[in-house]
Structures are given as structure tokens and as C-alpha cells.
Amino acid sequence: MSGADATNPKPARRATVMAVTSGKGGVGKTFVSANLAVALARRGERVLVLDADLGLANLDVVLNLFPKITLHDVFTGKHTLDEAIVAVPGGFSALLAGSGMVEYSRMTPELRERLTQVIDEVAPRFDRILLDTGAGISDVVLYTVSLADEVVIVATPEPTSLTDAYATIKVLAAQQNRRSLRVVINQVLRAGEGRVIRGQLQAVVDRFVTPLDPESPVKLELLGEIPSDPAVREAIKRRQLVSTVSPGAPSAQAFGMLAGKLCG
């Protein structure tokens, strides 16, 4: 092998890995991951959503799938990744996890290795991987987020959600030296609410989060806002995604805009 090849290998095409996370639970991480995946797939991206809420997984419920093979089987070596990846109506792929598995509530060296391995193995096959994480700042969530190239923080306009979003931002800035984070404000009641809330969060961050390097402060970018939408409840009752059953609904349209922003 020539010296040039050894020092400058051709970079393999690899998916952009995005963690979809939040401070508080129930704010719409799974909803955002799945519907954003539909919108990105419509734009021609090969998208994989990985249910990284390992102990309390519910992407399968949202997608109305009854997986026989889950990430757990991949982690334990019982099945291959190819057997675990499922094609979802809506044009994307998913890696589902099982619910109620207490062994995934705590980070261990094995879990660390398995998660990293799985992401490394699927990355060359997709354009984008969305990690639908658990809520909060447990070591499992933080480690999962650390594997991502980019972070999307989901929050609703509720004060408790915003306080917890701020806590997450603070920890990610301090522990992972994240300088640039995207926010999605979900369940907004008025157009423009997302922009206002991003501004408020940024003001708190500017005031209280001291970056290691004062030249590079932590910046929050609004990826978009999603309206609170009755069509979502209707879709969930039918165990389908609003973006596939009601593409004209306000929330589905909003995901189209988010995808447009991500695709450039």
C-alpha cells in the first residue's frame, strides 16, 4: 500500500447519524423520528430509525409492527442485523427494540460495544440514521447521543419540558463539548411559537452555559416547529403515522419543511 493510501484513505460513504432526544419524556421523540423519516424518505433518502429507547421501546407500537427479531437478539448474537432490520410502510427502515428489559436501563461496557458496533455496521447502508433515544440524562441516553454526528432536541412549549431541555443542552455542552444543537418545538399552538421558544432557550444558554472556549458559544438552531394537530390522535388510534395517512395535515406538512431544511 502506498503511503498516500495509508494516511489518506478514501472516506467510505456513511450515514449522518442524528440523535433525537429530549429532557422530558412524552414530548414527541418517537413521533418526530418516525414522521421525519417518512418526510426524508419522500425526498429520496435511505433512512433507518433505530429505537434506542432500549428499556422502554415503543417505536414498534407507533408503527404497528410486531417484531419477532429485535436489537436484543442482535446484541446477544441470536440473529443478524439483516434479520432485524424491517421495512416500514412510509418508505424507511427500522431497527426495533423490546420493551421492559431491565438490563438496558444501565450502561455496561458490553452494551456500549454492541451499540457502537450496530451503528458502525448499518451506517454505510443508509443516508441517515435517526436514533430515537430515551428521555433525560441517564448514562444510556448520553452514551447513545455521543454516537451521533448531530443532535435534535425535542421540546414542547410547556415550562417543564423547556427546563428539562435546557438541562439536556447544558449536559451535552459540558460532557460532549457540543456547540451546535438543533431544536424541534413540538405541539405548538400558534405559528411562530417555535422561533420565540428557541430564542428564550438560547438566552438562558447564553447566560448560564459557559463554553470551555469563549470563542465558540453553544448555538441552538430551530430545525422547525410542529403544530399540535388533532390528525395525530386520529392516526395513532389507527396505529399509523400521520405523515402517511394524512399527508395534508398541518403536522405532516411541518415534517416536510423539516426534511427540506435537513436536505438543504
Ligand X SMILES: Nc1ncnc2c1ncn2[C@@H]1O[C@H](COP(=O)(O)OP(=O)(O)O)[C@@H](O)[C@H]1O
* The entry of ligand X, Mg ion, none that residue 16 binds, CB within 5 to 8 Å by partner kind: none
With residue 50 as reference, give the H or E element that holds it.
strand 47-52
- Report the 10 Å Cβ neighbour count for 183: 24
| 108 versus 160: smaller Cβ distance to ligand X | 160
DSSP string, 102-164: GGGSS--HHHHHHHHHHHHHHGGG-SEEEEEEEES--HHHHHHHHT-SEEEEEE-SSHHHHHH
Cell representation of residue 35: 414522521
30 binds Mg ion (CB under 5 A): yes
Binding site partner of 255, from Mg ion, ligand X, none, Cβ cut-off 5-8 A by kind: none
Give least dist CB 202 to ligand X, A: 22
> Quick one: which of 19, 21, 17, 7 has its CA closest to 164?
21
Q: What is the DSSP string of 183-208?
A: EEEEEESSTTHHHHHHHHHHHHHHHH
* Of the residues 29, 72, 178, 182, which one makes contact with Mg ion according to CB under 5 A: 29
User: Residues near 148 by Cβ (< 8 Å), separated by ≥ 6?
Assistant: 17, 18, 19, 131
Shortest approach of ligand X to residue 186 CB, angstroms? 5
Smallest gap from Cβ 44 to Mg ion, in A, equals 26
Residue 92 near ligand X by CB under 6 A:
no
Min dist CB 24 to ligand X, Å, is 8
Nearest residue to Mg ion, using CB?
Answer: 30
- Distance in Å, CB of 209 to Mg ion, minimum: 26
Residue among 78, 36, 32, 80 at smallest CA distance from 53: 32
11 neighbors 5 (Cβ within 8 angstroms)? no
How far apart are the two ends of the chain, measured CA to CA in Å? 37
Kindly identify the residues of this chain, within the stretch 159-188, that bind ligand X according to CB under 6 A. 186-187
The interface mask with ligand X, positions 24-43, x = CB under 6 A, is -xxxxxxx------------
Count residues binding ligand X (CB under 6 A).
17
Residue 76 CB neighbours (<10 A): 10
Q: Is 228 in the site for ligand X (CB under 6 A)?
A: yes
Binding to ligand X by residue 226, rule CB under 6 A? yes
Q: Which residue, 28 or 67, has its beta carbon nearer to ligand X?
A: 28
- Are 113 and 142 in contact by the 8 Å Cβ rule? The answer is no
Give the interface size with Mg ion as a residue count (CB under 5 A).
2
Q: Residue 229 binds which one of Mg ion, ligand X, none, with CB within 5 to 8 A depending on kind?
A: ligand X
Q: Which parts of this chain interact with Mg ion (CB under 5 A)?
A: 29-30
Q: Which parts of this chain interact with ligand X (CB under 6 A)?
A: 22, 25-31, 186-187, 226, 228-229, 232-233, 236, 251
